Chain A
Amino acid sequence: MSYSVTESSSRQKWIAGTLVILYAVITLVPLGWIMITGFKTPPDSISYPPKVFFEPSVEGYVNLFTTRTRVSKETLESLPPPTNFAEEIVRNREMVIAGPSKFGQRFMNSVIIGFGSTFLSVFLGTLAAYAFSRFKIPLADDLLFFILSTRMMPPIAVAIPIFLMYRNLGLSDTHLGMILLYTAVNISLAVWLLKGFIDEIPREYEDAALIDGYTRFQAFYKVVLPQAATGIASTAIFCLIFSWNEYAFAVLLTSGTAQTAPPFIPTIIGVGGLDWPAVAAGATLFLIPVMIFTIMLRKHLLRGITFGAVRK
């Protein structure tokens, strides 16, 4: 076996590994707590000391998706027996299901606005990134810096005039308005990331295609796009995660029809104070897609969060 000076000894590795795993476990505790709280009953969730072991219940999820009204014992007894498990859980609290909650709709808004703005920003971003990567554009560096600088603006600082502008254009609280807004925020990331990915594709491929009689457009979508597919996919996931998580604009510019989940989840209230299991259930459903995407993205993560500055 060869000896390497840069390879750590097995004892060092063991210590390093233990410490890192310890940190990882501690860092996961709050997340784990969110998830298990979603399966507690409201009394269990606010018990003292905090309960680690408890009888799991889906009451949080039932409360998340329904609105309920309290009824008297007599009315409760006069009702026909519950037809499903949700009814039964709610009846045990002397309530009846009054209808679906707004959560499903808010979640769908997040999906529509997220995917809409992701599609638009990746579409526009790919075109712009290709142009910046392949053509001589006057003042290209300044333009790129301008594009990046728009991302640096504090959202609240531009929210005032956007609020006024959207009010005049009738775009406030609409899906279209939010899609356009999130596209404008995401496009800087899309251009910067995609430019990096396209820069890595050798020009020779396109040159060959051009010599063989392809037009620029053909060379672009038949040669460059398939090569950039991985880059485009990871850029899209980054844009999606951003739109998904965005809160500042959502809370200021939407209140009803186009409200996304992040401003909605904290407003879930139960009878007598916050309904923590329902909040936790909403948070869990909302956070899990992002966790899955993060794991999918792990190879490009660094690149995405530094706007393509650091590549592995």
Chain B
Amino acid sequence: MSEKTVDRVARATPVRIARKIRGFSDRTIAWIFVGPTIFLLLAINIFPLIWTVNLSFTDFKANRINRAVEYVGTRNYERILNDPDVWLSMQATAHFLFWTIFFQVLIGFTLAWLINKKFRGNDLWTTIIVLPMMLSPAVVGNFWTFLYQPQIGLFNYVVAFLTGKDPSSFEMLGSVDLAPWSIVIVDTWMWTPFVMLICLAGMRSIPDYIYEAAEIDRASKLRQFFTITIPMVLPFLMLAVLFRGIENFKMFDLVVQLTGGGPGSTTELASIHLKREAFEKWRTGYSSAIAIILFVTVFGLASIYVKALNKVKER
């Protein structure tokens, strides 16, 4: 591959050698190349964001454009802090975040550890396991509502088969107790491979000679696992957790299709609450303030993420 390029460069040289004009300076080219990207992001991300900040201090309603808009100062923010619905949605988000990450780390790490035993065909099975996470969350969520049907759904049938219960005796999506778990199950099914892949990369990055040295020092396999495998994989695991944290904090499509936030508001995660406020109740000003609070939280997580990312890269 490398030879080919060198050859190609060499071949083209005699024709070009007469050319004296070098065109633009590197500095100009740098700005021509970076400019459009920055412009697009400013126009479609930053400008809307600033607009949101502005709206968050008003009582604007997007479905009534002709109504006079009043600036209400920080009233929207004060209301949010005292709004029990916001706190409920935060609780739902926390429950979702904690348990999805817990299960995904547990199962993902175990799977990676098993795959790293390098049994025959492990590459093929890894690819198969990875499939769910690349699929459209909305379409998958929609389909899981079918699997969760009390009478006809496969999930209920399998659970009933395993536990001996009546398959129509429980409703995963319809009951207040089970709905928060139903979304945890689907998200875990979908995203465990993500944690698994990252852990696997971590395990594969550990050079064999470290284990060989430990073996010479007569460290037990258990000890090797806790003093070599775990600490070496930890930065990778942290990265996976942060990534899942950010993604699930803004979770929308999967859950909105599964439960739509219901029953009541038991699975109304932050993004779904925001969507209801903004596009169903049309409290644009108020929901802009929620959006800003969400964004600041995610941005904070993102900064930590980038630092962690750099640490992983240094290794």
Cβ of A162 < 8 Å from any Cβ of B? Answer: yes
Which parts of B244-296 form the interface with A (CB within 8 Å)? 246, 249-250, 252-253, 257, 270-271, 274-275, 278-279, 284, 287-288, 291-292, 294-295
Q: Counting CB contacts under 8 A, is B101 at the interface?
A: no
Task: Pick the contact of A24: B6, B51, B129, B151 (CB < 8 A).
Answer: B129
Asked if A269 is at the interface (CB within 8 A of a chain B CB), the reply is no
Q: A24-B125, A124-B36 are in contact. List 14 more A-B contacts (CB 8 A).
A: A5-B211, A20-B129, A30-B154, A160-B55, A160-B278, A180-B44, A217-B29, A244-B136, A245-B138, A276-B146, A307-B309, A310-B236, A310-B312, A311-B201
Tell whether A279 is near chain B: CB-to-CB under 8 Å. yes
A13 contacts the other chain (Cβ, under 8 Å)?
A: yes
Complex alpha-carbon distance, A226 and B196, angstroms = 33
A86 part of interface (Cβ distance < 8 Å): no
Q: A127-B37, A209-B9 are in contact. Are A163 and B239 (CB under 8 A)?
A: no
In the assembled complex, the Cα of A244 lies from the Cα of B136 at a distance in Å of 7
Q: Within 8 Å CB of B136, what residues of A?
A: 244-245, 247, 262, 286-287, 290
Interface residue total, chain A, C-beta cutoff 8 A: 115
Q: Which B residues have a C-beta under 8 Å from some C-beta of A?
A: 1, 5-6, 8-10, 12-13, 16-19, 21-24, 26-27, 29-34, 36-38, 40-41, 43-49, 51-52, 55, 62, 107, 111, 114-115, 117-123, 125-139, 142-144, 146-147, 149, 151-154, 157, 167, 189, 193-194, 197-198, 201-202, 204, 208, 211-212, 215, 236, 239, 243, 246, 249-250, 252-253, 257, 270-271, 274-275, 278-279, 284, 287-288, 291-292, 294-295, 298-299, 301-302, 306, 309, 312-313
| CA gap between A44 and B97 in the complex, in Å | 37
Asked whether A255 is an interface residue with its Cβ less than 8 Å from the other chain, the reply is no
Residue contact B9 to A24, C-beta cutoff 8 Å: no
Contacts of A212 in B (CB 8 A): 9-10, 12-13, 16-17
Q: List 13 A-B contacts (CB under 8 A).
A: A5-B215, A27-B189, A30-B143, A31-B132, A50-B157, A157-B250, A158-B45, A161-B49, A212-B13, A223-B5, A247-B252, A252-B275, A294-B134
Given A20-B122, A152-B299, A286-B136, A37:B239 Cβ within 8 A: no
- The proximity string for A residues 263-281 relative to B, scoring 1 for CB distances below 8 Å and 0 otherwise, is 1011000000010100110
Per CB-CB distance, the 6 closest pairs between chain A and chain B, nearest first, are A154-B250, A17-B119, A157-B291, A247-B138, A161-B48, A184-B44
Q: Once the chains are docked, how many angstroms separate the CA of A226 from the CA of B7?
A: 13
Q: Which single residue of chain B is at the shortest CB-CB distance from A191?
A: B37
The answer to the question of A108 belonging to the interface, with a C-beta cut-off of 8 Å to chain B, is no
CB distance from A230 to the nearest CB of B (A): 10
Asked if A56 is an interface residue, CB under 8 A from chain B, the answer is: no
Chain A proximity of B249: nearest CB distance (Å): 8
In this assembly, does A111 line the interface, its C-beta being within 8 Å of a C-beta of chain B? no
Q: Are the C-beta atoms of B212 and A266 separated by less than 8 Å?
A: no
* Known interface pairs A154-B294, A216-B24; A148-B306 also in contact (CB < 8 Å): yes
Chain A residue numbers with a CB within 8 Å of B27 are 135
Contact B114 A27 (CB under 8 A): no
- List residues of chain A with CB under 8 Å of any chain B CB: 4-8, 12-14, 16-17, 19-21, 23-24, 27-31, 33-34, 37, 45-50, 124-125, 127-128, 130-132, 135-137, 143, 145-150, 152-165, 180-181, 183-184, 187-188, 191, 205, 208-209, 212-218, 222-223, 226-227, 241, 244-245, 247-248, 251-252, 261-263, 265-266, 274, 276, 279-280, 283, 286-287, 290-291, 293-295, 298, 301-302, 305-307, 309-312
- Given known pairs A124-B40, A160-B288, A226-B5, the reply for A28 and B117 (CB within 8 Å) is no
A245 proximity list for chain B (CB < 8 A): 134-139
Cα distance, A297 to B153, chains bound together (Å): 33
B-side contacts of A180, CB under 8 Å? 40, 44
Closest Cβ neighbor of B156 among chain A residues: A50
Closest chain-B Cβ to A19's Cβ sits at a distance in Å of 5
Closest-CB distance, B284 to chain A (whole angstroms): 6
A91 to B16 CA separation, bound complex (whole angstroms): 71
Known A152-B302, A208-B9, A306-B198: A160·B30 in contact at CB below 8 Å: no
Distance in angstroms from A9 CB to nearest chain B CB is 9
Q: A155-B252, A217-B29, A244-B136 are in contact. Are A48 and B194 (CB under 8 A)?
A: no
Which listed residue, A34, A213, A309, touches B17 by the CB 8 Å rule? A213
A residues within 8 A CB of B137? 245, 247
Decide: A31 and B45 in contact? CB cutoff 8 A: no
Residue of B nearest to A238 (CB): B134
Q: A128-B33, A312-B204 are in contact. Are A184 and B55 (CB under 8 A)?
A: no
Complex Cα distance, B36 from A187, in Å, reads: 11
- Number of A-B pairs, beta carbon distance below 8 Å: 334
Instruction: Say how far A197's CB is from chain B's closest CB, in angstroms.
Output: 14
Bound Cα distance A174, B211 (Å): 58
Determine the residue in chain A with the shortest Cβ distance to B305.
A152
A135 and B142 contact, CB distance less than 8 A = no
Partner of B147, one of A30, A191, A227, A241: A30
Q: Please determine whether A161 and B295 come into contact, CB atoms closer than 8 angstroms.
A: no
B-side contacts of A276, CB under 8 Å:
146
Contact of B111 among A23, A148, A247, A287 (CB under 8 A): A23
- Write the chain B residue with the least CB distance to A248: B252
In contact, B274 and A290 (Cβ under 8 angstroms): no
- Report the separation of the CA atoms of residues A180 and B243 in the bound assembly, to the nearest whole angstrom: 25
